[in-house]
Structures are given as structure tokens and as C-alpha cells.
Amino acid sequence: MHIITFSFECGGFDNRLMRGGLSPLVWNLSREYAARGHRVSLITPAHGHLDRLRRSHRIETLDYRYEHALPLVLDPKVWPDRPAEITLELTTRAHRLRIDGVDVYFLSNEYLDLLADRLYPPPGTEGRDLSYFKPLVFQVDGLRFIERYFGREPAVVHGFEPYYHYLLPPVLAKDPLRRTVATVAANAPIAQKVYRPQVERLLSLFGADEAELNALDALDGPLPAEDSPQAVMARALAGTRMHIEYGPDYVGFLPLIASHADLVDFVSPGQRDYYSTFRDTPFEALFETLPVAGLLREQAHKLLMGGCGIADSWLARDPEAVDRERVLRELGLDPARPVFYHAARYAVHHKGQLELMRAVERVLATDREISFVIRCSTGGGGEESATAANAYFQRVADRYPGQVHLDWRLADENTLFEQAACADFCVFPSKYELDGFLIAQAEAMACGAVPIATAQRVTGHFGHALPRDHPQATGFPVRGSFRDDDPALARELAERIRQAAAVFRDTPETYGRLSANARDTARGFTWARCAESRLTAFEGLLRGRTREFPPRESIRYGWFDSLPSSAWATYPQLIRQSAGALGDLAAYGRCAPLDAAACERLFEAAYGRADFIRCEEIARAAGRGDLTARVRDRSRVRRGDGGRWTVEYVHDHVERVEAVVPGTTPVPPALESTAEAMASDEAVPHDSGAVLQALVPDDDGVFRGVLDGPPVGRSPVVMLTLRSGRVTWDTLPAEPAPFRVVATDLDGTLLRSDLTVSERTLRALALVAEAGAHHLVVTGRPAAACKEFLAALGYRGLAVCGQGAQLYDAGAARLLASASLDRALARTVVDRVEAALGRLELGVVTAPPESRFKVTPGFGERVHHGWDVTTDRELLWTDPIDKLVLHHPEISKDELADTARQLCEGSVTVVHSVKGMVEVLPPGTTKGTGVERAARLLGFTGADTVAFGDMPNDIPLLAWAAHGVAVGNAHPALRAMADEVAPGNDEDGVAVVLERLFDPAEARV
């Protein structure tokens, strides 16, 4: 088969073109593909290195010349001094190197030859220098080269790193001869986005039509509702390496790849786990609300774990043959001391190099009988000098010349192997789960170095997180970190280094066992195995075979709703174990009885994970008020004078509580200079105006604090770090608000009979907002018919419309979801009811975006301006519909609704609301199901909700809520089941209740 590898970096054959771990990944896979008889074409930029490469390699200039104008559409907020669109006039040439059976094609032009020293544009050039667009130029030129040079040959196009090939899958998706595979090598934020007008412009350049461009809408949901817990989390995370906030005119490139690529490939099992769930990380709660989370579940069959390896040339070398004494003395180090080794590209934050240097200072302050070999390579090649990238790092090394050897240069394999072979330990404190495999750690372990590394999911394959007495344990773990310049990580890292040195000196048999395990584990990571797993998948693609995502993996992820029915019969015990560990009541109940003991276990599992939504569900199902109280008593929040808030928090499994408050992210001293930060490969996190303020634990186990300012959002949001290492979020109710969600019907409930909103009601809703609660409109009206009423309320949140069938974001004026009614099913309902009751008058609400109301003339005085009246019933069924409306001139709406339910039970939902209309909806659609979905997006449940209504269609809404209120003018059926009956809608009944609940001192009758 023909495999076209597409990579911005490929220098595994020559370190002058190597900037990091991507080079050996790309090159070694390409060599392995070729060694198995496949044709391999590797496309990469020349990076201005052609003349230098010609000194060592035979480079052939091809008869390929492509002159073109590449349009750049610039975001004016990022590029304020540039025109909105500029054109790059480019002439691209191609050159070929044939080496180890691989054809390497170097593309060269005015932009692809920029930045010869560093290859990659520094993030700091965005908005400042057009060299920032070098990777985009590569995508366009690389695609054109594939089209023009390889013609109509069938091929698998294998792209590496999503940011450098996100155009390939959508452009090649329509090509029946090409299949695309996208490898995620490093874990960039999954919500990372690019400017949508630029993407649209380039996709149009490659022939995308309007429908394909409009399909980009589905890749990104709306921004979280203002002041919602999700919005607060997003602001807090924007100060980390895990999340970036963008405006609405940006589109995520990982969703673009996942929706169009044939396979999405990962380099370790933990990396696929992490990118699919973000389990136990600060990003998990926000990730679950993003469309990409659902997309990955839907596309799970594409998720391939191809793996990563160590070069055969490395594995063929003998560590014992290295002259340890010579190598270390040449580095200025004492061979008698234990050696701790770190080798990686310079990435001060996400590779934990700052914390490593802080730990080195701590250790050497008390123990000089330890040596460190630290390589933080920058852009210089092996024999070339390299300036210090970080002044603080260099000061530490200069202070301890006999204990620390710090090198900023890239090195060849000989140098790296000799130094790794001299290492007793290797130290890799990577953070944010950003490193997918860490080839450098594997190489050091293959030489027998015992790892000291973060116990992150993506590097679990190294075995260092196993308990030390485990037969396969390899080293010493430190807990993962999700913050820059993390003092806790620096302290723990220093403790582990001291602990490791003590084991080395005092219990050599333990060290020997760990070293042997490290060597055996790492030597199992071969490129041959990695290539075989991918080639099997590639062949399946070309043969049209669809892969199946392993049910065991879905079970482990907690994707129970994605399991086929056969899995429930095949893996009941595995499902029960996974559901039990997650506290998933529904999944567990499908496999085992939900008796009192089971509910207790499920509750404790959910409570131990600080999953309080599930805790409350379990407590309600078990009828355990004591468990509900345990959840609700976890926090106390008081608003005091001067806008200061006092917060108390208690939880047995929590070791750190941090509240999100307004503020500017502080820059720690000696972190990086401005120039160093601008030159780094790591983007400086955006200052979102939100910071984390730690609460202080008392001796009684209660975390207490007075917030420096009001919380970000309506209620305090806290980030919890559990003793298990899990990091999650909690939203704290501010006293005295008894409910977090206020769900109200519109017509006949919140609105007066003249369809206006009273000033008193508006003031009551303001009380709700001030108390940190959310107002959810839940109406039978379609979204298109709600806009004027929502505007009158100043409403910008989520609205549940169309009797629960639609979810509408009022702030973004965007319909997020809409369920349609099958037209054949609707006609069947009409036939059955008319057979029983005689001829009906009919109406339908057409599907968005039109949402027209088409009716037959018999609606009489009920016909409103703007409705479409037709005497031809067939015209009712010409367009997709959201719901069917029934009216009988002689039979009451109650009898009509009852008859429709009896005749069509199970196939549709039947409700009736104002104006005598009986509505027929898609099955399972009620105001209750609709508001449950909206509340869950906000992070709440029925236990947090008070609901108001007036008609029988509000019964599911009030039944779902913890407290249901019928207004005085309500239908008898609703009044009978409500928890409370308030004054009527014309007497501001909703306001009366809200005043009592949210500001008792101001309540009045």
C-alpha cells in the first residue's frame, strides 16, 4: 500500500531537523512501513535546511513548481494592525531524499524556509509576525502536493499532530481513493480552536460547498451561559495549560479531524483514555458539556491505540559497554554518586522543568552526594552551541558545578545513549497530562534508569505509578499537577529524589529489582509492534472494514449508554464493577439488585469522587434523607458586609479546596522573563480575570476562608483536589437560597393574561439571580415564538421550548437541539383518533428554522396573525414537523387528550396546554425531560429546583422538581399534584413565592 506521512517535523534521520519527540515517532514508523514492503512518501517542510542537508545527503530537486496566492483571513482582534485579509504570493518547489526505503519530500518556499533554528513559530508571534502562519502554509502546500504529484493513486494519508494537519481530513474526505489517519502525539487542549473565517476560506479553496461549511456549526456548542458554573470553570482553566477561551467565530480543529478522519491514532493506552474522558482532571466537568465529548463517543470506532516505541538502534546498544567513569568525569561529575537524568526539549511548564530545578535546589541544599544530568534542548543542533533559555535554570547549574550538568543543546544518539546509560534514575515530572508517551523516559528506562515521574494517565504504561512492592513496579511516582510553578510538585519531587537516593544506597536489592523491571518494560516498546498495529488498521480501511471499539473499553470509560445489548449479557460483572466505582445507579441497576446495601456502596463511591449529583440521585432512590443531608451539609456560604463572602467546606476525602475569585494571574518570581516566555514553545496562558484562592484547613478538618472578593459567577465555585489525586469542581449554594434552579412556564404562569411581565416579577427574578440561582424558562411555545418574551425578561440563558423538544440558547440566539416528530407517525395518530371521535381540526409546527404554525380553518377564533391556514390537509405534511396539534369542536380537551393517549400510548407523548390545544410530540418528550437536560448542562438536578406551571403539560415539570408550585389559575389536575398553590398569574403568583424563598425579609402578600 502507499502510505503518505504528513508531518511538520521529521528529523529522526538527521537531528538538524529534529525539535522534539515527533521526529522519532514519524521517522521510525515510516522506516518500519517501508521495511515491510510498503511505499512510503514523507511530506515535510524544508525549514531552510536544504543546503545543510546536501552536505550529508543526496537531495534531488524535483520538476515541481507551484505558484499560488494563499489567502490569510486575520482576526482583527488578534491582528489589529493588519488588513482583514491579505494574500501570500508563494512559489513552492519540492525536493526528494531517498533514505532507508522512504521518499522524503521537502517542500520549500518563502514561508516554509523560515525559522531554520527552531522550526516552529513561537506562540508569541501570533498577532505580531506573519511567520506564525508557517504551519498553515505547510498544510495548504502539502495538500496541493498530494493532489498534483501523486495524482489519483490510492493511499493512506497519515498526518501527525492535529494542529499541523487539520485541513487534510475534511479536504480528503470526499476522495474515494484516500483514507486519512490523524495521530495525536502530544495532548494540546482539546478545546483549542482556529479562526473560523480562515478555515472556511481555505476549505472553499479546496472545493467545499456551503453545506460543508455550515456543517462546522455542529463541531462547537455555544459558550457556557454567563455566570454558569461551566463559564466559571472555563475562566479558571484559561489560566492553565488545559484550556483556552475563544470567541464564537472560532472552530475546534480536533472535532474537525474526529468528524472527518478515518482513524484517530494515539501513542499510548492512557493517552486515548485521557483524551476520550479527561477522567479525574480539572477539565473533566467542562469537557462533558462540549460537543466534542459526544463526538468522540459516536466516533469511538475510529479511536486507534497505535503506540510508540524506542529506536532499534538504541535497543541494539549495550548500556554495560558504556564507560560510566569516563562519561561522568567529562561532565564534571563524580561517578561514585547516584545520577539523576532528565532529557527533553525545553518546555519549562508542561514538562515540569521549573519544578525539577526547584527540587534540585532543595535536594542539594542538604545532600551534595547526588549528581544531576539535565538536558533542556532548544533549537541548536548537536555540535552547535546553544544559549541558556532560562536564566534561573542556568544560575542553579552554575551554583552547583560539581553536582549539576545542564546542557541546552540537541544531541545525537551516541551522546544521549552514553548519558542515559550512566543514569541510575530518570526524572520526568510532566504536567497537565500533556505528554503522550515520553520517548526520552522510555530510552532511559531501557538503559536501566529507575523513573521518578508524575503518575499521570497518559504515561501509565511505564509502570512507575504501581506500588513499589508490585512485581512489575518500575519506580517512584509523584502526583500529577495542573498548575504552573507548582510548589507542591516541587516539594514532592524533592522528597522522591531523596527517597530514591536512600533506596539506592541502603537497599540495593530493591533498586536492582526496580531497575530490571524498568529495563524489561521499556524494551517492550518497539517500533515493529507499533507499525504492525497501525498497518493492520490501515489495511482494514482500504478494504472498507469498520472497526469496533472494544466494549471493555467503553465499560471502563463509563460509556454504558454506548454499549450494544450483547455487552450487557456478556460483561455483567465488569459493568457492575465499573458502575459501582463510578456510582452510576442506572447502569448498576441493570446488572444487580439495587438493595439498601448496594445503594450505600454506590453512594460512598460517588461521594468519594465528589460526584454530588449522583450522590443526590442515589439518596433519593434509596429514600435516605440522612445521605441527602450529608451532601447538602458539605458547605456553608455567607455573604457579609462589604461584599465579602465567608466559605466553609468539609469532605472526608478532600485535601485542597480553592475558590474561583476575580483577580489577575500572578507571575511568580524567577519563573521566566518576558523575553523567555515569548521565545518559548509554550503559549502564555490567557489572563481571564479569575484566579484560585485556597481555603485554609482547620484542625477539625473544615476548610475555611474569607474570599478576597465576590466569587466569579452567581455562586462560589470551588476546585477540589482529593487525596486520591482526582481533581473536580463543586458549586456551592449561597445561603439563604433554598434552590439553585427556578423553572417557570410562560403562558398563564410567569406571563400575565395580557402576555406581559410585571415589574414585581422582574424584581423577583433579579432576587433569584442575586442569590446565585438560575432561571430556566420551560414553555410549550417553539423557540421561534419565544424570542419577544425572552427579550422582555432580559433572558440570556438556556430555554426549554416546544414542550421539552427544543433547547434554545437565548444569549447566543441559537437553537442547540430539536426533536422532530415522524410525519408518518403523526398521520397514524390522526387516523386513530378520528376513527374514535370523528373529524378533527389539525395544526402542525414545522421544524426549525421556520417553525411555522400551519392549521386547518376549524381552529376558528383561535387562529392568530402569522399562522398559515390551509384547507388542504396534505399541505400539513410537506415539511418536517416538530409537533402535531389536535382540536375537536365538540369534545373537551381533557377527553381528547385521554383518547389520544389510550390509542397511541408509547409511540408518542400527548399533552394539553393553553387555548384548548392537545399536542402530540415525539415519544419521551415532556417538559420534565427537557428541563432535566438543561439543568444537567448547568450542573444541577431536580433536587436543586423549584418549578412553576398552570396546565397538565406542566405535570412532568413539577413532578421532576423538588418543589412544584401551581399558580391559582392552574388546571385542577396540576393543582392536585403540586406541592403548593400560589396566587394566580395576574396576581404575580410566581413573584410571591420567589420573594418568600429568596428574600424572606422582603416577602409580602
Q: Do residues 245 and 290 lie in contact, with contact meaning Cβ atoms separated by under 8 Å?
A: no
Instruction: Tell me the DSSP string of 698-758.
Output: PTTSEEEEE-SSPPSSSS-EEEEEETTS-EEEEEPPPTT---SEEEE-IIIIIS-TTS---
Determine the pLDDT at residue 985: 95
Rounded to an integer, the average pLDDT of 16-31 is: 89
Q: List residues bridging with 453 in a β-sheet.
A: 428, 477
Q: What is the pLDDT of residue 557?
A: 95
CA 34 from centre of chain: 36
- The lowest-confidence range among 506-515, 518-527, 913-922 is 913-922
Residue 194: strand pairing partners:
251
Query: 533: which 3 cell numbers?
Result: 498495529
**Contact, 497 vs 337, CB < 8 A?**
no
Taking only the tens place, the pLDDT of each residue in 392-413 is: 999 999 999 999 999 998 888 9
Output the nine-digit C-alpha cell for 8.
Answer: 511538520
d(CA 422, CA 408): 19
CA distance 618 to 476: 38
Query: Model confidence over 340-370: pLDDT tens digits?
Result: 999 998 888 899 999 999 999 999 999 999 9
Interior angle at CA 672, CA 666 and CA 674, nearest 5: 85
d(Cα 796, Cα 910) in Å, to the nearest integer? 29
Region label for 433, one of left (φ > 0), alpha (ψ between -120 and 50) or beta (otherwise): left
pLDDT over 80 at 225, yes or no: no
User: How many angstroms separate the CA atoms of 494 and 490, rounded?
Assistant: 6
Cα–Cα nearest to 330, from 383, 386, 393, 405? 405
Residue 1004 has pLDDT above 70, yes or no: no
The most confident of 525-529, 764-768, 838-842, 875-879, by mean pLDDT: 525-529
Tell me the sheet residues that pair with 948.
Answer: 744, 965
pLDDT tens-digit readout, 603-632: 999 999 999 989 988 988 888 888 988 988
Asked if residue 640 has pLDDT above 80, the reply is no
Cα(825)–Cα(803) distance, integer angstroms: 18
Q: Is the pLDDT of residue 686 over 80?
A: no
Supply the pLDDT for residue 736: 56
pLDDT beyond 90 at 264 = yes
pTM of the model: 0.76
Q: Report the pLDDT value the prediction gives residue 383, as an integer from 0 to 100.
A: 47
For residue 201, pLDDT over 60 is answered with yes
Cα–Cα distance, 282 to 494 (Å, whole number)? 25
* Residue 642, pLDDT score: 64
pLDDT band at 679 (very low <50, low <70, confident <90, very high): low
